[in-house]
């Protein structure tokens, strides 16, 4: 399966990473994390760790960065097929930039993320963007889906994720969402049923 590696050096990737880190910085108040230990960040579909460099340059808060990819482009990236498994460690926020186009069905993947991670920053090149890529162009890149913004947000909501903030990149072709997991924020079942007695 192609993973659009020919385009890996494009400035669009940097623009998307900068917008995603901007969303994180603007929404840090929504994340519970131990400031003495540092924000635990995972980068799913990390490639050559471009996000690591942007975080180092633009995020003032102390953080620990962990990267995963099915085809690592650096020795520091852990090889992992995220369609089959998620990392075992806990993270405060997970980034999925340039990954979702290669995963289908997305609803199932989103549900797995929502059950494990309290905050997520996800990007997707939407099919209803101004001057969108055609279905043929998307398939040529190895992309498996053609979600519109509304369709994708319905999948996110159905998986238990609440969109808190949105940005765009790549001439508004790529949407970037900052989300919180409703699954992890729900009170325990025993606490929910306690008031009914």
Going by C-alpha positions, the residue among 60, 48, 65 that lies closest to residue 13 is 48
Q: Note the pLDDT of residue 6.
A: 47
Does the predicted model carry a pTM greater than 0.85?
Answer: yes
In the chain, what are the domain boundaries? Answer: 37-183
Topology (CATH level 3) of domain 37-183: Rossmann fold (3.40.50)
Q: What is the mean pLDDT of each run of 10 residues along the chain (197 residues)?
A: 48 86 94 89 93 94 95 92 93 96 94 96 93 90 93 96 94 94 68 44
Q: Count of residues for the chain?
A: 197
Q: Report the share of the chain in percent with pLDDT over 90.
A: 74
Pairing between β-strand 39-44 and β-strand 161-169 as defined by DSSP bridges: unpaired
Contact (CB, 8 A) for 142 and 102? yes
pLDDT score at 96? 97
Sheet holding 119-125, edge to edge: 78-79, 63-69, 39-44, 93-96, 119-125, 174-181, 161-169
């Amino acid at each position: 399966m192609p993973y659009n590696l020919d385009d890996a050096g494009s400035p669009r990737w940097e623009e998307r990473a900068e917008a995603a880190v901007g969303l994180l910085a603007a929404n840090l108040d929504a994340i519970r994390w131990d400031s003495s230990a540092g924000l635990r960040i995972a980068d799913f579909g990390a490639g050559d760790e471009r996000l690591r460099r942007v975080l180092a340059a633009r995020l003032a808060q102390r953080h620990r960065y962990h990267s995963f990819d099915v085809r690592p482009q650096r020795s520091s990236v852990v090889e992992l097929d995220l369609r089959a498994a998620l990392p075992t460690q806990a993270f405060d926020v997970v980034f999925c930039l340039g990954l979702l186009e290669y995963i289908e069905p997305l609803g199932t993947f989103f549900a797995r993320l929502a059950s494990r991670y309290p905050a997520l920053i996800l990007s997707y090149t939407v099919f209803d963007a101004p001057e969108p890529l055609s279905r043929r162009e998307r398939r040529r890149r190895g992309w498996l889906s053609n979600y519109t913004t509304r369709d994708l947000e319905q999948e996110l909501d159905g998986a238990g994720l609440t969109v808190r903030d949105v940005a765009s990149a790549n001439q508004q072709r790529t949407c970037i969402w900052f989300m919180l997991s409703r699954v992890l924020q729900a009170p325990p079942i025993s606490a929910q049923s306690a008031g009914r007695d």
